[in-house]
Amino acid sequence: MKQELRENNCSFEPDSSPDAWEYYKGYASCILIGEPELAAGGNRPKAKAKFKGIEIKVAGDCSFNFKLCKTYFEKIIEKARGPEKDTELGVKLVNAASMHHKLPNFGLMPVAGGLNNLKGALKIKDNKVMVHDIGKRPASALDRLDTFIYFLDYSFKMLETFHSLENAVDLRGAGEFFSESVFTTSMKGENFTILYDLIASFEDIYEYCEIFYGLKMGTEKHKQLIDRLIKNGNKPIDSVEDIVRYIELANEFWDARKFPPLHAVQR
């Protein structure tokens, strides 16, 4: 299929290219069934996946979106430092932005229930992560991986709580309970049950990150990275210190994901 995709003469999105799919197969072959398929007129192939008996479709995603937030960060730096530029931080930001379309920044994303669209719609207000729905995207919606991981972890814990209460919660109560969770978008569409079954099948956020990012549950360094992503995920980025911490998290994530297949397919 890699050769067939190349012969398609399609201008693929970088996170959906044949090389990207070879990278995904390097750490997620245990869930992928069949080869990625390209819809007519599209440039983002999707593949079928199966996890604990649940079949879904998965697509590629850019994990840290420095392409979106670089200008936003530069304004924060300029406001804090004035016309005198911080050369060292500027170089770190440029280097981080250059990773946007590199393999270690690509991750698999379930498309069930609009989960692939949810990540870019998450915003932060008063240290609370919420799903932005209507109107212009707020500045705090930066398509951040740490915020997505935080929100997933929050939703996993909500689900655990709900399971302990479900006999006493009616349909209206359930809707209110999950009104700010990974199910927010899917509850308005037809794929809620698929997303619910998928999320409910995971033990916790660590198992999710192992399957979709290749961060092993049994590797303490990977677990600590996930913990730091969660800890930082509900914090707004509005200072130079916040930017530095965010870049450090991104660099740690990329270093953790330099899997062996990377050297075989990156050119």
pLDDT 10s digits, 217-251: 999 999 999 999 999 999 999 999 999 999 999 99
Of the two residues 84 and 76, the one the predictor is more confident about is 76
The pLDDT of residue 238 is 93
The pLDDT of residue 114 is 77
The pLDDT of residue 175 is 52
Average pLDDT over residues 31-37: 92
Is the pLDDT at 264 greater than 80, yes or no? no
Average pLDDT over residues 41-48: 86
124 close to 81: Cβ distance less than 8 angstroms: no
d(CA 141, CA 221): 28
pLDDT band at 10 (very low <50, low <70, confident <90, very high): low
The pLDDT of residue 184 is 60
The pTM score is 0.87
For the chain, where are the E strands, in sequence order? 32-37, 46-51, 54-62, 106-110, 122-125, 128-131
Distances (CA, A) of 85 to 75, 79, 251: 11, 10, 22
d(CA 112, CA 144): 20
pLDDT 10s digits, 139-176: 778 999 999 999 999 888 888 876 666 565 554 455 55
234 close to 150: Cβ distance less than 8 angstroms: yes
DSSP notation for 160-196: HHHHHHGGG--HHHHHHHTTTSTTTTGGGSS-HHHHH
pLDDT band at 262 (very low <50, low <70, confident <90, very high): very low
Of the two residues 167 and 5, the one the predictor is more confident about is 167
201 close to 194: Cβ distance less than 8 angstroms: no
Least confident of 113-117, 119-123, 124-128, 163-167: 163-167
Residue bearing tokens 């931080």:
89
pLDDT band at 64 (very low <50, low <70, confident <90, very high): very high
Q: By percentage, how much of the chain surpasses pLDDT 90?
A: 55
Q: At how many degrees (to 10) do helices 240-256 and 145-165 cross?
A: 80
Of the two residues 73 and 138, the one the predictor is more confident about is 73
Residue 175, token pair as written in the block:
């809707």
pLDDT band at 94 (very low <50, low <70, confident <90, very high): very high
The pLDDT of residue 256 is 96
